[in-house]
Amino acid sequence: MLHLAKDGIFPITKDKDGKLLKELPASGLHVAGTIQGEGKLNGVPSLFIRLAGCNLHCTWKTLAGNTCECDTAYAAFKVENSFSLPVEEIVRIIGHNRGNIDHIVITGGEPFLQADKVRALCLQLKKESHFHITVETNATLYVEECAEMIDFFSLSPKLSGSVPPAPHMDHHNKTRINIPAIQSFITYARKNKKDFQLKFVYSGENEIIEIQALLKQLDGWGNEDILLMPMGATPEELSLSIPKTLEHCLRNGWRFCDRLHISLFGNKQGV
């Protein structure tokens, strides 16, 4: 059984038996699927599987001075309405909603907290019909038996701007960066002809120095693998951080990471 967040598998239009759901998905479309809104695969039609539970508790301060929790706090540490499904049932739901979609994104929460079950899921998805599988992870945990089933690693190390107030501050600070785990993902990708990205959220000038210091501790990456993403869950919040994010991308040769799903759907879950 995999423990899923309340939106679970999304956006879908059919249930495990292939019957049409009574309501449209959050996208508002009469077809299953959405697009990957961030990173190297920006714009690619995808189905998402969102798992519940995370080992971090990220909270940011926006440039406007507001507090901004993880944009999927309901999956990470506010897991009301989470539920569990057998791997076989998840695979059936995906099959009924696939259409012409070839990309699956496993996200969270933190998927590697359920590494054994994620591996079993990926194995079945590859067996039933070849999918390109992305995992979105904070890169604090590395399990090679699971990594071998993944095609693309979206690694999002959390910088000091993500640190929450007490009582979560100390644990978050001690565990938010795991250099050996990050390096393991990169090394495995390079050795096995897989791809990865290091995706950072820009929330202040000090974090650019942090990113540069972190990258000096890692091998096997190029500037094309480093993505800087403006912080914000709404178009208004993003507009405040986009100019500086863009400037630092140009200065360092990094990729600018858009948040296309916010442009398309706003601050909405399940899209």
**HEC per residue, 38-80:** CCCCCCCEEEEEEECCCCCCCEEECCCCCEEECCCHHHHCCCC
Binding-site annotation: residue ranges: 35-37, 50, 54, 58, 70, 72, 107, 109, 156-158
pLDDT value at 74 more than 90:
no
The confidence score (pLDDT) of residue 81 equals 83
Average pLDDT of the chain is 92
pLDDT value at 72 more than 90:
no
Condensed to tens digits (0 to 9), the pLDDT of residues 125-141 reads 998 778 999 999 999 99
Banded pLDDT at 173 (limits 50, 70, 90): confident
pLDDT value at 78 more than 80:
no
The full set of domain ranges for the chain reads 2-265
The confidence score (pLDDT) of residue 203 equals 83
Span 2-265 CATH architecture:
Alpha-Beta Barrel (3.20)
Among residues of the chain, what percentage have pLDDT more than 90?
70
pLDDT value at 65 more than 90:
no
Condensed to tens digits (0 to 9), the pLDDT of residues 259-269 reads 888 888 888 88
The confidence score (pLDDT) of residue 186 equals 98
d(CA 89, CA 209): 45
Interval 206-215 mean pLDDT:
95
**pTM for the whole thing?**
0.95
Interval 22-26 mean pLDDT:
93
Is 148 in a helix, a strand, or coil?
coil
Banded pLDDT at 145 (limits 50, 70, 90): very high
Banded pLDDT at 257 (limits 50, 70, 90): very high
The confidence score (pLDDT) of residue 164 equals 76
Helix (H) or strand (E) holding 145: helix 144-147
The confidence score (pLDDT) of residue 237 equals 82
Three-state SS string across 93-106, please? HHHHHCCCCCEEEE
* CB proximity list for 167: less than 8 A, separation 6 or greater: none
The confidence score (pLDDT) of residue 162 equals 82
Binding-site annotation: residue ranges for [4Fe-4S] cluster: 54, 58, 70
Binding-site annotation: residue ranges for substrate: 35-37, 50, 107
Residue at token pair 């079993």: 120
Interval 113-118 mean pLDDT:
98
**Lowest mean pLDDT across 39-53, 154-168, 217-231:** 154-168
